[in-house]
């Protein structure tokens, strides 16, 4: 009979506080036994090294004659971070100007650097971001005949 009375009092909200505390303690103990905290182990995350590909830039000499595939090949070399030496001496003057304009746009978009090596012969050095060329090397390029296609 006391169970019925306790249920009625519990529904109304009048319950013996000691009984309520005992019930809560029993429930907590049962839950701890179910979970068995001792079996839970700390797991350590594995450290995995991510190997980054180091791209070694190549030096590529291009002699573009047209605005089509020639200039596209040159820009593709810039995309893969290669150093490009562009010789537009043999191109017609009007086309050479347009080639230089196209390359200038690509240089800006790809954050490269465009430097004149020899303005008379139309030789330009295009380097990817992070590559610096010393003036001494530019002087060697301009005095050298390795870029003349005679």
d(CA 68, CA 98): 11
82 and 130 both lie in a single domain: yes
133/93 same-domain check: yes
Q: State how many domains the chain has.
A: 2
- Count CB neighbours of 123 within 10 A: 22
- The answer for residues whose C-beta is within 8 angstroms of residue 134's C-beta and 6 or more apart is none
Task: Tell whether 66 and 138 lie within a shared domain.
Answer: yes
Same domain, 120 and 66: yes
Residue 29 belongs to a domain: yes
Q: What is the pLDDT of residue 107?
A: 93
SS3 5: helix
Residue 150 has a pLDDT of 42
User: pLDDT exceeding 90 applies to what percent of the chain?
Assistant: 15
pLDDT 10s digits, 52-83: 666 677 888 988 888 888 889 999 999 998 99
One domain for residues 89 and 128: yes
Confidence at residue 68, expressed as pLDDT on a 0 to 100 scale: 84
Q: Assess if residue 12 is contained within a domain.
A: yes
**Residue 44 and residue 47: Cα distance in Å, rounded?**
9
Question: Does residue 53 form part of some domain?
Answer: no
Domain of 20 in residue numbering reads as: 2-39
Exposed e or buried b for every residue in 84-100, given b needs 16+ CB within 10 A?
bbbbbeebeeebbeebb
Residue 149 clears pLDDT 50, i.e. is over it: no
- What is the mean pLDDT of the segment spanning 29-35? 73
Phi, psi torsion values for 104, nearest 5 degrees = -60, -40
- Report the CATH number that the domain containing residue 116 is assigned in CATH: 3.30.110.150
Q: What is the pLDDT of residues 85-117, one digit of tens each?
A: 999 888 888 988 999 999 999 999 999 999 888
- pLDDT value for 32: 72
Q: Are residues 19 and 65 in the same domain?
A: no
Please report the pLDDT score of residue 23 as a whole number: 80
Q: Distance between CA 22 and CA 64 in Å, rounded?
A: 89
For residues 10 and 64, membership in a common domain is answered with no
Asked, for residue 44, whether it belongs to a domain, the answer is: no
């Amino acid at each position: 009979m006391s169970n019925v009375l306790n249920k009625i009092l519990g529904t109304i909200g009048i319950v013996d506080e000691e009984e309520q505390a005992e019930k809560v303690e029993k429930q907590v103990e049962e839950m701890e036994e179910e979970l068995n905290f001792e079996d839970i182990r700390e797991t350590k995350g594995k450290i995995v090294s991510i190997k980054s590909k180091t791209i070694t830039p190549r030096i590529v000499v291009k002699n573009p004659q047209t605005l089509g595939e020639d200039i596209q090949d040159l820009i593709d070399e810039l995309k893969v971070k290669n150093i490009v030496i562009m010789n537009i001496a043999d191109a017609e003057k009007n086309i050479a100007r347009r080639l230089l304009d196209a390359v200038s746009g690509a240089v800006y978009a790809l954050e490269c650097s465009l430097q004149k090596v020899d303005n008379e012969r139309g030789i330009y050095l295009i380097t990817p971001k992070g590559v610096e060329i010393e003036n001494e090397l530019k002087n060697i390029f301009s005095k050298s005949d390795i870029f003349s296609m005679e």
